Amino acid sequence: MWTVDYLDPPRQIVCDLGSSEETTVSSNHLQRVLDPQEQDAFDQAGEPQADPEDEQNALLRMESAESEQAAAAAAEALHLKQAAQGKVRIGSAVRASVLANAAEPAYAQFVRDELDSVTTENELKWDAVEPAQGTFTYGAADTIVDFGQANQLDVRGHTLVWHNALPDWVKAYDVPGEANRLALNAILEQHIRTVVGHYAGRVKVWDVVNEPLADDGTRRSNSMWQRRLGDDYIANSFRWAHEADPGAKLYLNEYGIEMDSAKARSLYELVRGLRALGVPIDGVGFQTHQMLGAERLSGLSNVMRQFADLGLDVAITELDVRIPGVPATGEQLAQQATAFATAVKACLSVPRCVSITTWGFTDKYSWMTNNPDPKYAGWGEATLLDASYVKKPAYNAMLATLATTERPSSVNADLVGAWRLDDWSATTASDASGLDHAATVTGGLGAEGRTPSGSAFRGDGASTGAETASAVVATNASYTVSAWVRLDSKSADQVIVSQDGSTVSAFTLGYGKTKDRWVFSIPVADSTGASVQSVESKSAPVVGEWAHLTAVWNNGWGRMQIYVNGSWNNTFPAASENRGATWASAGRLRIGRSMSGKAFSGAISDVRVYRHAASAGESAGYADPSVGRWQLNGSLADASWFFRDGSVRNDAAATWTVGQGNTTVGALRVSASDYIDIRGTQLLYTERSYTVSALVKLTAAGQSNQIILVQDGNGQYAFVLKYRASDSKWAFGLPASSANSSTYLEIASTSVAQTNWVNLTAVWDGVTRLPKLYVDGILEATGTATTSWPSSPTGSMHLGTSSSSKFDGALDRVQVFQRALTAAEVGALA
């Protein structure tokens, strides 16, 4: 047996080689035995790195196996809560009168079989639970709470403070005057303390304040609580509820916040302010009532993330999708199913989305059924089951989505700081690691991000920056720092990320003017004049181009490393027998500047800090350059950071076919009648470097051009990737100008298009000013176009369709990147 002593902290590996001997090998000895390539691999991963082609084949096999396992899971999941087990809690609003009705057992049976939680639909609204002052009627609510406890279901209490469902005796206090204000405040406090106290330990979650904002984001003027008590009523309500039951989870619940809007941003500022005051709020509820044909779901996951980054849980609390012109058609029911699935996927993509609650589960007892409000006339059938308890396509879609969608890991155990820097706040950058290292920002937030739909921090090279209140990472142990950056100027040394010591920064990651390189530096001591150890990138940064940097300190080896765009660039010290030095720092972490005043001129996004030395594979993963990634394995969901889900125009259902790995729903089937859009806002800056890639399979070559991908421009399409019928070649075209009548400058493959699966990758290199076209990872064409024109700020990307041409075949693994991929990176896609 060999015992190898290595890494930080030193630990042993026992290797059984069929011998009874034990040998201890020191880290220095081990370094000298390995050749340089093996050593670099061992430093990062503990074993030689796998061949990229082997890794790709293994990934394909894994994706195929996972797809088959997901399909099997969907088939085996008999109930919603089974499909959701370990992922998210599933609930519904329920009615006590029906739950207790022995003549209608199907209602209670569905709740037992399918749900993890129940919400009181009306039984805990003020007019139901305190119809007369001081007279509390808990009977109906007790029916639900008792049922929940008897069947191991969580109970959500809805709602303590709302502008509606108030008894007349409460409304009588809706008059001006200080005496009346004090009386109303006391009434509200007593109501909350009494009701929450009555159910302490039995109601797990409360919707404390419901719908405090108007549609334009202002405080609701038709709320007597807002008119008579002012802004303080919200914070006080949470404090009183918490004091009555410290163990309950407390939510603010709101509608119309499923997409970026004035209302969503106002709620964000409201909640952020409550958190800053120490108000005991645990989560934000997204009601998610939807109208078929006008769904607001494409931005749901992104808005949820904004609140989750404040350290809050989020939940879908009142999901339904009402249909116009009932009775519904089969097509409408299919569209409704897609909407339910989209909402579920949005929740599952956000680690802190903890529950999905529908607002009723059968059309027989939906709030839309026989609703007397004229604005709901003709609308209905909003739930998962019809009025006879028959499961609708919406139920089946929700079940399948829960069973087949995997959740991202909540928080990397070694992630100690994560700042997206796309915050809606102008003064605070939230920490998405869950460790609450929020950074105070001086200028810069809300600037142009890596994509047109994102935002970032922008430093002015002088006064801007962000800083935490305390240290984030122990700098006398292994750590990793990564960030996306775009340099605007090379006029001075600049700092992207640093952490303060007492006298000097314990480390800096930034730009060095003298050598024109990215630089990771560590002083040997916390003193002015101490020598500085540095490791530099191999090549010079490109002004105006986004790059990903990863800086690694491996304390076990005493070595610094720097990666650019996921690729190893350099190591210090280079000699394996030497060690670098470091020391402990206890100062704040800074973004966009250092304690010496060096600031960054340019944009910064997605800064992360880990308390371990990242491997080569991890560094490559941090630098994932995709800004859109559609796996198309039964879903149009975007698996990238940016969550730009696709949709079929007119809310039709997508058609799926056998993919490259022979999985049943492994690819998107596109024909003349399909219109697949990536909607929202502008997807790419096409006047800058970008790459688009797709796996394609023609049904037949045909006599007409067939569009694979296009991006809307300001006259013509900003680019086209297509099958060209005139010579049966693949082609990548850019408009000769931005004019509507512009012709396209096309480059074409040397190979003739076939009807087998092929990977096409088109690259526009904004530095060399040349387009490139790769077929199965091989460069087959480069062209004469010297300009790529901007895409439309309000346009979309379209899959398999344009205004004049369609694709007939299958598409798989569509990806877009806001930079020019290297030949090696393109090869890895093929």
Distance CA 9, CA 613 (A): 12
CB 263 within 8 A of CB 256: yes
Q: What are phi and psi of 371, to 5 degrees?
A: -70, 125
Q: What are phi and psi of 230, to 5 degrees?
A: 75, -170
Distance CA 328, CA 589 (A): 57
3-state DSSP assignment of residue 808: coil
3-state DSSP assignment of residue 636: coil
Torsion of CA 231, 232, 233, 237, to 10 degrees: 130
Strands 313-324 and 283-286: parallel
Amino acid residing at 216: D
Q: Which of 2, 4, 3, 73 is nearest to 42 (CA)?
A: 4
Catalytic residue among 121, 318, 618, 746: 318
> Sign (positive/negative) of CA torsion 117, 121, 127, 132?
negative
Beta strands in 309-414 (DSSP E): 313-324, 353-358, 379-380
CB 454 within 8 A of CB 476: no
How far apart, in Å, are the Cα atoms of 166 and each of 160, 241, 309, 335, 619? Answer: 11, 19, 34, 36, 56
Tokens 């007279």 map to which residue? Answer: 135
Q: Structure tokens of 569?
A: 């660039």
Residue 363 C-alpha from the chain's centroid:
32
Element (H, E) at 749: strand 744-752
Task: Establish whether 318 is a catalytic residue.
Answer: yes
Q: Which of 170, 205, 165, 221 is nearest to 191 (CA)?
A: 170
Inter-helix orientation angle 262-276/232-244, to 10°: 60
Q: Which of 260, 241, 244 is nearest to 252 (CA)?
A: 241
CB atoms within 10 A of CB 351: 18
Q: Residues, the chain, total?
A: 830
Own/partner long-range contacts of 709-712 (Cβ < 8 Å, ≥24 apart): 709/797, 709/798, 709/799, 709/814, 710/797, 710/798, 710/801, 710/802, 711/683, 711/684, 711/686, 711/791, 711/795, 711/796, 711/797, 711/798, 712/791, 712/792, 712/794, 712/795, 712/796, 712/797, 712/798
CB 696 within 8 A of CB 809: yes
Task: Give yes or no for a cis peptide into 573 (omega within 30° of 0).
Answer: yes
Taking only Cα atoms into account, the Rg of the chain, rounded to an integer number of angstroms, comes to 29
| CA-based end-to-end distance of the chain | 42
Distance CA 693, CA 709 (A): 9
How far apart, in Å, are the Cα atoms of 44 and each of 49, 247, 482? Answer: 9, 44, 16
Element (H, E) at 170: helix 168-171
Residue 368 C-alpha from the chain's centroid:
32
Summary count for the chain: helices (H), strands (E): 18, 44
Strands 379-380 and 313-324: antiparallel
CB 424 within 8 A of CB 268: yes
Q: Which residues neighbour 149 within 8 Å (Cβ) at sequence distance 6 or greater? A: 155, 202
Q: Which of 564, 616, 666, 569 is nearest to 52 (CA)?
A: 616
CB 665 within 8 A of CB 656: yes
Q: Which of 475, 494, 481 is nearest to 580 (CA)?
A: 475
Catalytic residues: 318
